[in-house]
Structure 1
């Protein structure tokens, strides 16, 4: 699966209800839209009552599979491809690519908001005089700001947050001007903020003893950092230094926990847990800890392996991260959710509330 395509706003005319969005409003909606390619046999979308996205088939053939014996195909040339693929799996199922496919993915909340706004404007027409002598530099700044926001909206993090959550993130950002050479975070210090690069570039210098072995990375507008230390409540494993002058947005640890962490580190209720369909249990502790005691049938997959092999984890399955890892388990759930994997965190309270005779919870 890959994505890197400029979106033509006239493409919306092919799809329902995107065609109802006025041309004048489509540039804004495109900021919350992406086109993604799926290889043969890759899952495009599966049923979820929590999804905030719509998937539209632009090119290719796909299979709508309800069960082994109940399946049908859909072509991009058919009239039914004008509807979001979610319409065909309302009660369960998976849509899988039969040929290489291109798919338009959009946050459905922005569709509704744009249509409602355009309908409102039809009854409340306001004439705005254009300032012919407007400052050209101001226009450049506006375009630049939209660039970082577009990139952030297309990030794995924003893609797995509701539109309301994304707006809360942007609303609560504290904006700080920075200069080249300024150290934003110091390795081996406690986490304090979540950061987004708005303008300028920064360099990440990782700890030689950490998971990235001293590697260096460049951060660009729209990139974010500082989240993992806040999720796991650990010290930083890297320093971040501005390479140029710029502007950053930062979110306090409390706001991060309330807005972002709460959305991606999800602990189900007892009833919800018991209704999970054959979940796979991951114990993310070190092997020597796992050997001492663990939930029967749980698999030992330390957090470092999850981080480096997350692209190989089957997205068609459901996962429960066991409680023994504590904050490491929370981080594993966060990383997996951010990668589009249905993962749940079993905290200590949930573990103690579950029936002790449950086959899922036998400790060995």
Structure 2
């Protein structure tokens, strides 16, 4: 479990994880992914009068105001005050920055690398999607626990989110027995292991003899260093009981690191897409959608895709978008795998940064799916 307070070494302040759990879109991440993200993030104090960021900058960060007051200043001279906790969204995070931000009082802020956030957020939501799909398949009841543990393993955080589902196709079962030595210290490894059933013990040979390091059980992974380097194994792993291991070979791991292609449509084709009645699907969170979205776009967050996909029709064309293209590509990929006519919209960041498109976005009207078409939600 996440602790109630977290601290990033070398930074000026700690931050309340319970508070960050409410931020958008961090609130839609699993605990393990959020914990990894926060371990690479910066919490700091900004004193009154200091600048958080300047208009025109490309800083690649999501900046959240945790406490204190900030003033957002547009190049034309207009200024907007923002009080701490008045918004759960990052401050004017589109790149390049459209405004400058200056602390009106002493503030505490959380800085998160936008690229890492986007990758882990998408990974987390695809993982949640698969967990729900797995839980619906009665023939997989006995596998749910270890498969869920695999999806939460930070070993795969660098795997493109589009390949998350492929992890289970690459894992091969191996039956083992009590007393079997699975890994020998000093050998060069070419695979890692997940324990599906059984328990194992880990020992390391030192000058005084074998030292017991740990016992590992169902869902645990060992030998993963072999996937990323050619160094000799640094310990021995021996089975304590009979069991079943799921084996991931190094070459299969390399295949998982290659993102598959997802059919995309250029942003300039938006007028044509509307003419042929394609349904635009905003895959961001409800809060992000409420801030601004394309006219006539329905909101189907990637985090809720397993539930809301039942509203879709295999005869209808769907075009997915988000603010970076990562969540929308993942959504389109998953929909296509299940027989839907889905594409991802290309050049997504331009939707929110290029005035040609940003000035067309809506904020008031929400749209929902009815009989396969986008309809304005009735108040």
Q: How does the TM-score come out when normalised to structure 1?
A: 0.40
**Greater share of residues in helix:** 1
Larger radius of gyration: 2
